[in-house]
Chains A and B, each alone.
Chain A
């Protein structure tokens, strides 16, 4: 069974405590979205994505095939 948006949001709030994944949602059978976490302040885009892969995608394993872009933002990020 593929991962659900609820499950992905739950993992995000667990591994990135205090994060806000409300924008992560189901879209055409894919789980996608952006989320905010203070801990990403000063962290490079590559390292942020790496953290998401290590902590969220790895946790889901093959069930995460339907998880698309999860964009890890920090408060105050430049548009």
Chain B
């Protein structure tokens, strides 16, 4: 990474939530844990932002930065030219940020439906501070248009006098990653960014295309798994504790966690009465 993380994190809004969740399919838990690295969450894949589901994601942030940069007090030519180039030509692969999404809302219907097998998946809860530990930059996404403008002003102020275009480009892209459309606000996203060296990038198939990714935890200490919440689609919230513990879905997760050296008693049910069937 070419810049100091605080250039961005100091400009982001604060949030007191100490736990964040990652929504996923239950089957994916197998890949989060590894017998060879017991005791925590030891593998999480990060993907470049332009491969995500919000097609306007990066452009919204870049447009906001560009709007501020082209108003008095104008940003320097290098910044304005770089922004225009990013908007029209895209991101340099070498400077691309790879991201993982977490949420401050650990039990939220939209994310159950969108990211966790329509409510049949799970959310894996970890500590916000640990996500920050393994990230190059991590922070809360901004959805409010006025706050986005204020954030953009701070970032562009930081870039004044900066002459290295690679640094300018990387800061602008990373900043743009923290601005999203208001329609995504219920996600309360806490976003992890990593800037890999090209040699560390791997590729997977997804939706008939190739998607680059990196394993953020390949060389980092594992993230703690505070709890696993089973999605509302399984309708487990009204089971008595004993019946819940014996349920086959809960048993599967319990056995995986204990086999990987983690306590198996931190499994909960979503409290949302959502039935996808």
Partner-B contacts on A (CB < 8 A)? 27-28, 30, 32-34, 45-46, 48-49, 53, 68-74, 77-79
Contacts and interface: CB of A to CB of B under 8 A. Distances in A.
Contacts of B74: 78
Contacts of B161: 79
Contacts of A70: 85
B10 interface: no
A70 B94 CA distance: 15
B: interface residue count bin? 20 to 34
A49 B81 contact: yes
Contact of B81 (A28, A33, A71): A71
B76 interface: yes
Interface stretch (B53-61, B141-149, B163-171, B176-184): B163-171
Contacts of B85: 49, 69-71
Contacts, number: 60
Chief secondary structure at chain B's binding surface: helix
A69 to B, nearest CB: 5
A32 B92 contact: yes
**Residue of B76, B77, B160 ringed by the most chain A CB atoms within 10 A:** B77
B165 A72 contact: no
Nearest to A72: B81
Closest 4 CB pairs of A and B: A77-B77, A79-B76, A45-B80, A45-B84
Contact of A78 (B77, B82, B83, B92): B77
Contacts of A46: 84, 88
Contact of A77 (B76, B93, B160): B76
B78 interface: yes
Contacts of A78: 74, 76-77
A30 B94 contact: yes
A30 B85 CA distance: 15
Contacts of A77: 76-78
16 contacts: A28-B198, A32-B166, A34-B165, A45-B70, A45-B77, A45-B84, A49-B84, A49-B88, A68-B94, A69-B89, A69-B92, A73-B78, A77-B77, A77-B78, A78-B74, A79-B78
